[in-house]
Amino acid sequence: MTNVVVVKRVDRGDADLSEVTDLARAAGYDVVGSLSQTREEDAAYHLGEGKVSELAALVAETDAAAVIFDNRLGPYQTYNIAQKLPQNVEVIDRFTLILEIFGQRANTRKAQLQVELAELRYELPRAEAKASLAKRDERPGFMGLGEYDESRERDIKAQISRIKNELDAIADKEETRREQRRESGFDLVALAGYTNAGKSTLMQRLADDLEVGQNDDLHPDLDPTAESKNQLFTTLGTTTRRAETGKRDVLLTDTVGFVSDLPHWLVESFKSTLDSVYRADLVLLVVDASESLDAMREKLITSHDTLYERNEAPIVTVFNKIDAVDDEELEEKRAALSALAPNPVAVSGLTGKNISELTARVEDELPAWERERLLLPLVEDTMSVVSWLYDHTYVEQEEYQGEQVFVEFEASPAIVEKARAKAADLSLPSESA
């Protein structure tokens, strides 16, 4: 395991190194030291030059092979800092670290493409700067970046275009699948929120008594379970399972967790994954209620910025992990965050507390259903239509009346229309029969 020192600079206040420490560990590093500074950014070194000398001494003392900044570094700053450190010590900034973690967790073609796209978008504005720095430094392959090729910028743009086209094709297939699911009577609910908020644990709680059919051709990507670990970025792709909420047939999708201070280009690179949230019928925004009030507020603001830009579905805020919070503290947080999280549902995915309240809220917030009554003639295909109604709607009453069947049910408007069409296709028995 590689030893690293984590670093953070803030303009004011005290620097919180907890997240970058967790990120570093999630990437497989061993954090052996930390350093922070409160001051305005230095154009040359990001930190003050004296603090960089202090960092160099700490690196030498801890035998660290890399330093990880919880900040965005420009290429010149990266170069200047490296020049002050012991030889061959790598300088990694926050976004390089996040991309490294994403790369480690990308197990599907879609995830791999999104990581590659993000990496290319990160590299593109740096290509010219790398060339300038390489010319200033006599050693070829400056900082492990490789010799500069004048065609590199064109290559990057061509690769970005190719990846975007492939991701667009994947997105089109996923949109078709979403519509197939809705046409089959499913409501689509997405879990969103910060990484480590407990989304995967909550998903397991909502679906833990439900088995996914092995011969379900319509939903080939339904996984038997979602991973649940105390680890950042456990879920990089999406996992979809049937969820038990009551009379509605719900497909619940767990998506990649949000992270603070992500630039637009990085969020945009994962748009294909976030489409599972943007195009859902309902979004459950999961927040870790055991965190400090300030942390919850900051994460709610960032989540809203990400969601409300494109999302059209209703959003229900879920305060998770209430097993780690006493009632008085929970009520204080409810009151303080009421403007950002009106009427949240407080649950524990770990213990199952208040899960029934959450499922009831899901049913209430999903798009309204219509109630319909159909009188079907008893002909050869009638029972297949009745069976279809049981599979795609919530049947409240089925009654046989002579040569007819009365069925009362609830369903989405689209499903009600299909049911009416199926009923209309049933022909009455001929008089000569």
To the question of whether residue 198 is assigned a binding role by annotation, the answer is yes
Distance separating alpha carbons of residues 264 and 270, to the nearest angstrom: 10
CA geometry: angle 60, 63, 69, nearest 5 deg: 80
Tell whether residue 360 is among the known ligand binding residues: no
Tell whether residue 197 is among the known ligand binding residues. Answer: yes
Residues 35 and 51: their CA atoms lie apart, in Å, by 9
Residue 245 counted as an annotated binding residue: no
What does each C-alpha distance from 170 to 34, 121, 252 come to in angstroms?
42, 20, 20
262 is in an annotated binding site: no
The answer on whether 84 is annotated among ligand-binding residues is: no
Q: Which residues lie across from 222 on neighbouring strands?
A: 240
Distance CA 63, CA 99 (A): 25
323 is in an annotated binding site: yes
Is 193 labeled as ligand-binding? yes
Length of the chain: 433
Sign of the four-CA dihedral 8, 321, 274, 219:
positive
320 among the known binding-site residues?
yes
352 annotated to bind ligand: no
160 is in an annotated binding site: no
394 marked ligand binding residue: no
Which residue has 């028995």 as its token pair? Answer: 429
Q: Is 240 annotated to bind ligand? A: no
Determine if residue 129 is labeled as part of a ligand binding site.
Answer: no
176 annotated to bind ligand? no
CA atoms within 13 A on the CB side of 401: 11
Q: Is residue 321 a known part of a binding site?
A: yes
Does 349 appear as a known binding residue? Answer: yes
Estimate the share of the chain in helix, then strand, then coil, as percent rounded to the nearest 5: 45, 20, 35
Residue 415, marked binder: no
SS3 347: coil
- Quick one: how far is CA 399 from the chain centroid? 45
For the annotated binding site for GTP, the residues are 193-200, 254-257, 320-323, 348-350
Residues belonging to the binding site are 193-200, 235, 254-257, 320-323, 348-350
Binding residues for Mg(2+): 200, 235
